[in-house]
């Protein structure tokens, strides 16, 4: 099994910045794509950003130019630097990763529990 734990959420004023972190642990053999999703009440989870093993990145149009995803291979971590935050960025942010474990050499997608980001004056 793989556990994903997010941190870094909180309350920030419009125009402010936050940096989310997600660390993976467990019987990890390999991690492929890592992603950040977000969800607001009554809505489906929305893909915010993803990063490949080779650090190729993709972003939702709504966050391009404001958010930056990065990863640290050494400790199976992924980060989301969020700048110029807007009230519409308010959501629960979830970390997501495609991983293979040392006991099951199949790619499985894992999710974290989420961290709340609130952008408000």
Beta bridge partners of 27: none
pLDDT at 62: 97
Longest dimension (CA), the chain: 48
Map the chain to HEC letters.
CEEEEEECCEEECCCCCEEEEEEEEECEEEEEEEEEEEECCCCCCEEEEEECCCCCEEECCCCCCCEEEEEEHHHCEEEEEECCCCHHHCEEEEEEEEEEECCCCCCEEEECCCEEEEECC
Tens-level pLDDT at each residue, the chain (121 residues): 899 999 999 999 999 999 999 999 999 999 999 999 999 999 999 999 999 999 999 999 999 999 999 999 777 999 999 999 999 999 999 999 999 999 888 999 999 999 999 999 9
Burial class (CB in 10 A: 0-12, 13-18, 19+), 37: buried
pLDDT at 43: 95
pLDDT at 105: 84
pLDDT at 74: 75
**Which CA distances in Å does 31 have to 6, 34, 47, 102?**
16, 8, 18, 11
Side-chain-side CA neighbours of 35 within 13 Å: the count stands at: 18
């Amino acid at each position: 099994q793989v556990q994903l734990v997010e941190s870094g959420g909180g309350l920030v004023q419009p125009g402010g910045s936050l940096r989310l972190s997600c660390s993976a642990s467990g019987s990890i053999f390999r991690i492929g794509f890592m992603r950040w999703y977000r969800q607001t009440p009554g809505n489906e989870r929305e893909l915010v950003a993803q990063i490949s093993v080779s650090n190729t990145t993709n972003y939702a149009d709504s966050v391009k130019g404001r958010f930056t995803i990065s990863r640290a291979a050494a400790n199976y971590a992924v980060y989301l630097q969020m700048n110029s935050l807007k009230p519409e960025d308010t959501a629960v942010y979830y970390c997501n990763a495609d991983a293979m474990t040392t006991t099951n050499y199949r790619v499985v997608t894992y999710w974290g529990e989420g961290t709340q980001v609130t952008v408000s004056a």
